[in-house]
Structure 1
């Protein structure tokens, strides 16, 4: 069998299947680029995606992204002064997920323990009326899963019904971005297909919200976890995890991890372990005899992995920004490439050799080079 190249922008077109490892959560996004038929741009809210994504993945869940049409989705509302948003904006693996969302027809509902509808103005279009997405949510819920939404993402559940045609959340408390907060005099609002709170009420839900806004307001009612606006992202992610742990505590829904995800987890341990001051994560990523190699002043320079780890101070965070560029796997061997940016100093290019033994992928070799960051003159 020939070597299979796992260059990330190609790989993420691959349909994710049940051979992947962790319990999975499905993120629902929109392909809409404009408000209705206007030329006013809209998008999916980046912060409402990455904050829950970060919490879920750190808790051991795998995230798949779906959109009505599949493929690339527009993102916006980006705040690069937010460390979580900055981290994922420069994470090639993550960004390629957003470029290659799957279509509803590719989803196997039995693979998921929760479904999450992200927000942004784009969420008002194409999601709620998609029958396949409605069926996916209904089946996940019927299988004891959780339905969660944030802000305008609550529009996505406007028409959810059970198999008998009755509201899936009749009598349940649901929140989202209230219509009274919208700028109704603006052109964007005139294109909305419906008001979220009215749609929820029309489907027999009990719409609630906080008059304050931006105060982390959220609601948990049975297996519906909903947030009013971006400030609730952390809270609802934590609540979803609590419910999953309760509902699936004694159910064996964990399957074999894909090789790519195992390798990526090892590389992330290296990237984040170094950047966040977590030496134990580095020990988890490295083979005990791991070495680093580079060339300085035309001389080969070798450094032991243990010496590298000893220089990492517990809890001391740095400004390093890392991203995985590519991974190439052949059976129990792999090579990978990553880029590490240290602002106002250097850009490092890392090349890794990884081997799988005793069921675990370890970094056994790293070669690297760097270039200085040249400040532009005003």
Structure 2
């Protein structure tokens, strides 16, 4: 409970000055926790969030999350044996973005190049009928942007209309999770407000699907990119990226934002230490970097060179690190991270990070720690 409070306070004050607003993609999620009025849990599909998110971030785009009510969203369909899912499940900073999704009223549509509707059973509820989200999608689309959806996320675009009140996707090929794969006798399906197939067709879309589940089926029709199920997540993402690179040649997502660069060097520190990769630490730290802490009421200063020298190549250790907060102002930034060594200690790290010669470097780290009971779970 104590850690949760710290996370909330840290993230509430995030200042993302320096982010290139022209290279942003908006993710739409749902707050729904149950299928309609049933007691059957509903959730946002984790894979359908993190696969596109990872692809967009690596391509140099920033991603924001919204939900109709804002705040926390339910997550499901997780596979912790999948390395990418595990990576994001243990990324406290990313998970708190999902815990603190923005409200649609907080969004300036002009700041985004694309809107992406993620899936999961929860996506059937609360999104499609949200007028503010509809307007945001319309504004993005009218500025040559992309509308993308995957699986049940396609439900979210059902009622999109143009300025004349006509279906925004009339005549276009659209896919999503088809009724053929639903259990129509099940209570969850009976709770759906509508059928994706029928609603898209009713609004003059040309609904298409593959009779083979899990074959990566997706469709690109103009600036609509839709996928049938989770297997199409990466393909849909890559198609969105390709369209954006063509339609917005004056933006340069290959040049990483300040936030992306700072996140990268923090991960170089966290993962480099955990995996025995001193070369990543050398990349993250300024050559004159020092570490500071207090031990027995005495200031202890340790050089960065000494710290790196103790990292043996290829020697991994059981350290679990999370980025908690990043605050940027022009060429200066501060950051906070938590490093847990199970059954031993939890470290809290504070960083001073500066940008010079167009590169961010960690120039200072102060830290504290607390001992963990041997049986304390993380």
What does residue 234 of structure 2 align with? 234
- Which stretch shifts more, 221-230 or 285-294? 285-294
Q: 1:237 to 1:252 in 2, by over 3 A?
A: closer
CA distance in 2, matches of 1:180, 1:329: 49
Corresponding residue for 1:3?
Answer: none
Flag the 1:329–1:225 CA change in 2: closer, same or farther, 3 A: closer
Instruction: After TM superposition, give the deviation of residue 335 of structure 1 in Å.
Output: 4.9
- How far the C-alpha of 1:281 sits from its partner, in A, is 4.7
The question of whether the paired residues in 2 share the 8 Å contact of 1:335 and 1:351 is answered with: no
CA contact (8 A) 1:218 1:232 kept: yes
1:248 corresponds to: 248
SS at match of 2:147: strand
- CA 1:215–1:252 in 2, change beyond 3 Å: closer, same or farther? closer
Q: Distance in 1 between matches of 2:341 and 2:232?
A: 31
Secondary structure of the residue aligned to 2:70 is coil
Please say if residues 21 and 254 of structure 1, whose CA atoms lie closer than 8 Å, have aligned partners that are also in contact: no
Mean Cα displacement is larger for which, 225-234 or 354-363? 354-363
Residue 366 of structure 1: how far off its partner (Å): 3.6
The residue aligned with 1:203 is 203
Distance apart, 1:56 and its partner CA: 1.1
Change (3 A) 1:309 1:103: farther
User: Where does the alignment leave 5 or more consecutive residues of structure 1 unmatched?
Assistant: 1-6
Whether 2:74 is the aligned partner of 1:74: answer yes
Q: Give CA deviations for 1:338-358 in whole Å, capped at 9, x if unaligned.
A: 233467x86552524314242
Summarize deviations over 1:172-192 as a string: whole Å, max 9, x none: 221111111111111111111
Counterparts of 1:207-222 in structure 2 under 5 Å?
207-222=207-222
CA distance in 1, matches of 2:373, 2:243: 46
CA contact (8 A) 1:289 1:304 kept: yes
Per-residue CA deviations over 1:44-103 (Å, capped at 9, x if unaligned) read: 111111111111112211111111111111111222111222222222211111111111
The equivalent of 1:152 in structure 2 is 152
Q: 1:251 to 1:55 in 2, by over 3 A?
A: closer
Equivalence for 1:169:
169
Equivalent of residue 351 in structure 1, options 349, 352, 376: 349
Tell me which residue corresponds to 1:4.
Answer: none
Residue 136 of structure 2 aligns to a residue whose secondary structure is helix
Contact preservation (8 Å) 2:31, 2:73: yes
For the residue of structure 2 that corresponds to 1:354, the secondary structure is strand
Quick one: distance in 1 between partners of 2:322 and 2:365? 15
Q: Which secondary structure state, in structure 1, belongs to the residue aligned with residue 210 of structure 2?
A: coil
TM superposition score normalised by structure 1: 0.83
Is residue 2:52 matched to residue 1:44?
no
Change (3 A) 1:229 1:222: same
State the distance in 2 between where 1:11 and 1:348 align.
17
Aligned to 2:63: 63
1:114 corresponding residue in structure 2: 114
Cα distance in 2 between the residues matched to 1:61 and 1:148: 15
Question: 2: CA distance between counterparts of 1:219 and 1:128?
Answer: 20
The 3 A distance-change label for structure 1 pair 148 and 333 is: closer
SS across alignment from 2:167: coil
Preserved contact between residue 45 and residue 76 of structure 1 (Cα < 8 Å): yes
Distance 1:16 1:251 in 2: 22
Q: Deviations over 1:120-164 (max 9, x none)?
A: 111001111111111111110111111111110000011111111
**For residues 304-324 of structure 1, what are the alpha-carbon distances to aligned partners after superposition, in whole Å with 9 as ceiling and x for unaligned?**
44872795759x988754211
Deviation at 1:213, TM superposition (A): 0.6
Is the Cα contact below 8 Å between 2:276 and 2:311 reproduced in 1?
no
Q: CA RMSD in A?
A: 3.5
Give the alignment of 1:284-299 within 5 angstroms. 284-292=283-291
Q: Against the structure 1 CA distance between its residues 11 and 154, is the aligned structure 2 distance closer, same or farther, given a 3 Å change threshold? A: farther
Do the aligned residues in 2 keep the contact of 1:19 with 1:256 (CA within 8 Å)? no
Moved more, 26-35 or 235-244: 235-244
**Aligned residues of 1:286 and 1:305 also touching (Cα < 8 A):** no
1:364 counterpart = 2:363: yes
> What SS does the aligned partner of 1:188 have?
helix
Asked if 1 retains the 8 angstrom alpha-carbon contact of 2:116 and 2:147, the reply is yes
- Secondary structure of 2:116's match? strand
Using the size of structure 2 for normalisation, the TM-score is 0.83
Indicate if the aligned counterparts of 1:323 and 1:339 stay in contact, CA closer than 8 A. Answer: yes
